[in-house]
Amino acid sequence: MATAVQTWNDDTAHIGLIVAVGGVGAATVALNNATTPWIALIGGAPASFPSSPLSFFKGAVSLESYTYNAQRRAHLTAPHARGGKGIPLQNICLLYNPNSACSATEAHDWPAQSPKVSAGINQHGLNDPITLWNAATQTGAFDTIPANVQAVVVSADPFFQDNKNPLVTAANNWVGQAGTNRLVCYPMPEYKTAQPNPTPRKRIFHGPSLEKAYTELGRRAASFMRNGTAFNLSKQQLDNPDED
């Protein structure tokens, strides 16, 4: 990707703004290589990421995906009388991708008394969709979830989002096992469109909308191209839990 950014830097006749999407990893490449103005859509901003315009960086829209895990846990642990699920903290598990740029922070911030399970990588340490769900072997990302877990919070990792179909297949298999009462908390409403759909009454969509974030990014890009307006880091608001 660094090579592509350098190519765009050289094409000043046609490119006035680089828009980096795909998470903090893509934004970091732009930060380190762009000599053309650029903006980004990120899942969350590490402490080292700029919060205001500098040099060629003209702003970013952040989904604040992993920072909202606290609110997801709060909804899952709250008693039924307060609209929650009444699930003990030790029975809530984080499913995350260790290759994600934010994974170290996300895993560190997850409570010690709650399990966390890595998924999505093969034996070579590379992201691999077949590890999310292998139809031939009927195995997938949820196979190593501890037996006591009642709810899984899926990380808002870009690789998970891009491969939500096999991930949701694995999730549906997990929640559908006989004799269980399980839930999966998805990090954004866009998981509704996965094929297959997440299992009704076993799913919660709790996070900012990716569509709204892209719309905001497009609005900011248009504003910059019209009049050169830069902007500070813009954080998307958390939507209410959407469940059925």
Same domain, 222 and 199: no
**What pLDDT score was predicted for residue 24?**
85
C-beta of residue 129 within 8 angstroms of C-beta of residue 161 = no
Same domain, 160 and 144: yes
**What pLDDT score was predicted for residue 90?**
98
Same domain, 81 and 198: yes
Same domain, 33 and 14: yes
Same domain, 156 and 195: yes
Same domain, 174 and 83: yes
**What pLDDT score was predicted for residue 22?**
80
In a domain, 96, yes or no: yes
In a domain, 14, yes or no: yes
Summarised one tens digit per residue, pLDDT across range 19-56 is 999 888 899 999 999 999 999 999 888 778 888 998 99
Same domain, 233 and 188: no
Structural domain including 51 reads: 2-64+209-237
**What pLDDT score was predicted for residue 23?**
82
Same domain, 216 and 151: no
Mean pLDDT calculated for residue range 160-189: 97
**What pLDDT score was predicted for residue 47?**
79
| CA atoms of 85 and 82, how far apart (whole Å) | 9
In a domain, 243, yes or no: no
Domain count, the chain: 2
Same domain, 196 and 224: no
Summarised one tens digit per residue, pLDDT across range 64-104 is 888 999 999 999 999 999 999 999 999 999 999 999 888 98
**What pLDDT score was predicted for residue 101?**
81
In a domain, 107, yes or no: yes
Q: How far apart, in Å, are the Cα atoms of 235 and each of 1, 68, 244?
A: 25, 11, 27
104 φ, ψ (degrees, to nearest 5)? -60, -45
Summarised one tens digit per residue, pLDDT across range 194-221 is 999 999 999 999 999 999 999 999 999 9
Beta-carbon contacts of 201 under 8 Å, excluding residues fewer than 6 positions away, are: 244
Beta-carbon contacts of 81 under 8 Å, excluding residues fewer than 6 positions away, are: none
Same domain, 14 and 98: no
**What pLDDT score was predicted for residue 1?**
84
In a domain, 84, yes or no: yes
In a domain, 242, yes or no: no
Percent of the chain exceeding pLDDT 70 equals 100
Summarised one tens digit per residue, pLDDT across range 108-140 is 999 999 999 999 999 999 999 999 999 999 999
At 177, is the secondary structure helix, strand, or coil? coil
Q: Is the pLDDT of residue 183 over 90?
A: yes
User: Domain holding 164: CATH number?
Assistant: 3.40.50
Kindly compute the dihedral angle of the four CA atoms of residues 81, 82, 88, 92, in this order, to the nearest 10 degrees: 130
**What pLDDT score was predicted for residue 46?**
78
Same domain, 103 and 163: yes
Query: Model-level pTM?
Result: 0.90
| CA atoms of 43 and 241, how far apart (whole Å) | 18
**What pLDDT score was predicted for residue 18?**
96
